[in-house]
Amino acid sequence: MSEISGLTALELRDALAAGELSAREVGGHFLGRIEALNPSLGSFITVTADRAMDEARRADEEFAAKREPLRALHGMPLAYKDLLDVAGVPTSYGTAALPAQAAEKDNALVATLSGAGAISLGKTQVPEFGLSCHSENDIAPPARNPLNPALSAGGSSGGEAAAVAAGMLPFGPGNDGGGSVRIPASACGLIGLKPGLGTIPSDVLDGTLDAFGAPRLTVSGPLARNALDAALLMDAMIDPSQGTFLDTLRSGGIDSLRGLRIGVSTDSPFASAYRISLSPEAHAALNKAIETLNRRAHHVEEAEIYYDTMYPETFSTVWTSGLAAARLPPGREEKLGTLARSFRERATAREVAVSLAAAARLTEIAADFRTQWGRYDVVLTPAMAHTPPEIGYYTSQDADTDYMRQCQYTPFTSMVNVSGLPAVTVPTLTTADGLSMGVQIIGRAGSEIQLLALAAQLSEM
């Protein structure tokens, strides 16, 4: 039992499928890990232990009945960010301004993964409304980094990432609107894949544009300890009846990948508004990746990329416009945190024409990103600009300083959401203090498998 959390997600899936482990053994083990570690790491807001063990019992009964075929994620434990509805479980959205009410039905992604046989152990910590690159709010303890609990686990999927990195979960689904999978993956030493818009069917049930006509930013993606585990979860998120990602990687897709034209860039579209400075650790992580990719017979060169100076203002307008429509109960506005309150006030005061114009401009900027990056097979950037900051680094500041610091820590992530293209962050360096730093690889449309193959190559350094 003590070795279960040391298995990869793929090894665990195979052990469950072979009957070497029961779903109840696995669920009980990970619930025990949560009980032991969550008080110091703040990964989970809600733990649904009884419900999980009930589902595990049913999974074992299903296995004993030899129902065929066995579901793709039979008995696999995971959890969901507290932004996604799980029927019968409260959803807090990380805010004190809304009552945490039990959801009536599952979010579409939750329904897909539950249908694939996954068993939810609970809901994980997020920032208020998922707005920030940390996972701190006013309703529960912050999500702390397992590599150093004094530091942030990143966000908005920070609770999820911390749980995976600490062995409280074998892998986990996150969602990413401005870096929310890639940021905590980088902070906690995991692989984090942001698929292209539309790759996960449940992401685009409401279309590919937001209410103002801007590109829809948020997509779902896996947080995992290695590329094969990420591929396993991706397959389930897309279509549990298929194994395209995992089969491709395991049948030579990693070693056969070579000769890509890779453009390296340390430029950020936020540089026109803020001072963007890379730490020595960020440079070292990037250089290690370049060395490995060169050894893998790829062609690495400096990329010439020029970003629209209107990006910071345009993105901020689009990012915050939806808050004007948030329905808050009477008298609850004052319970919003500093950043969310400021963003909502600005969005409410903004004329609709301004939001519409920003959406149109961002659509043009997105096309320019795709054109410039498209000169290369993939584009390589640092993952983050520096090592994870301490808890409270953002939330102790006024709203403008908070947001500026977030952009300075994550200067390369939101632009990929705007483009609609896929990207993956991969750890490539362990610092002298035991922290993780890595790189981001931006791909062309439909290149998610290629990105995971590159992630696997970089992980074999």
Where do we find the tokens 């990195």? 165
Contact 379, 303 (CB under 8 A): yes
Contact 452, 231 (CB under 8 A): yes
Task: Exactly one of 120, 156, 414, 447 is catalytic; name it.
Answer: 156
Task: Exactly one of 81, 220, 342, 355 is catalytic; name it.
Answer: 81
Q: Give, to the nearest 10 degrees, the angle between helix 311-321 and helix 338-349.
A: 90
In angstroms, rounded to a whole number, what is the distance separating the alpha carbons of residues 36 and 132? 27
Task: Exactly one of 22, 157, 180, 268 is catalytic; name it.
Answer: 180
Residue 180 designated active-site: yes
In angstroms, rounded to a whole number, what is the distance separating the alpha carbons of residues 29 and 35? 10
Q: Cα 236–220–357 angle (5° rounding)? A: 150
In angstroms, rounded to a whole number, what is the distance separating the alpha carbons of residues 239 and 234? 8
Contact 177, 318 (CB under 8 A): no
Q: How far is CA 432 from the centre of its chain?
A: 26
In angstroms, rounded to a whole number, what is the distance separating the alpha carbons of residues 394 and 152? 10
Residues acting as catalytic residues: 81, 156, 180
